Amino acid sequence: MRGIILALLLALAGCEKSQYEPFFSESKTYVYNYEGIILNGIPENGLARSGIKLNCKVELSGYAQRSYMLK
């Protein structure tokens, strides 16, 4: 009986609909601080690597229906 209940609970959790497409309001401007690191090189011990670190402010605003402007 416990096995059936567990299987039903797992089936319910597995069939839950996930929304992966983000929703942004057209009347708002969203501001994000972005930080990233880009590394180049061969991933072996003792070999040199080079890279760059990025910091920027990103503004995302609605332009038209389902179209957005990224600055």
pTM for the whole thing? 0.49
Domain boundaries, the chain: 26-71
pLDDT in tens, 1-17: 778 887 777 777 766 66
The three-state secondary structure class of 16 is coil
CB contact at 8 A, 19 and 31: no
Rg (CA), the chain: 22
Rounded to whole angstroms, how far apart are CA atoms 9 and 3? 10
pLDDT for 11-64, tens place per residue? Answer: 777 666 666 667 778 888 999 999 999 988 877 777 788 899 999 999 988 887
Q: What is the pLDDT of residue 9?
A: 75
Confidence of residue 70 (pLDDT cuts 50, 70, 90): confident
